[in-house]
Amino acid sequence: MAKINRTSPSLARLFPNPAMLDVMVLIMLHPDQEFYQREIVERTQNTVLQVQRALKRIQDAGFVQKNKSGNRAYYRARREPAFH
pLDDT at 12 over 70: no
What would the mean pLDDT of 34-60 be, rounded to a whole number? Answer: 96
User: Cα 2 vs. chain centroid, distance in angstroms?
Assistant: 14
Domain residue ranges in the chain: 17-77
What is the reported pLDDT for 13? Answer: 72
Is the CATH code 3.30.470.30 the one for domain 17-77? no
Q: Tell me the sheet residues that pair with 74.
A: 36, 67
pLDDT at 7 over 80: no
Structure pTM?
0.81
Task: Compute CA distances 60 → 3, 20, 55, whole Å.
Answer: 25, 12, 8
pLDDT at 52 over 90: yes
pLDDT at 75 over 60: yes
Answer yes or no: are the C-beta atoms of 78 and 62 closer than 8 Å.
yes
User: Would you report the helix, strand and coil content of the chain in percent, each value rounded to 5?
Assistant: 45, 15, 40
Distance CA 7, CA 47 (A): 20
pLDDT at 40 over 80: yes
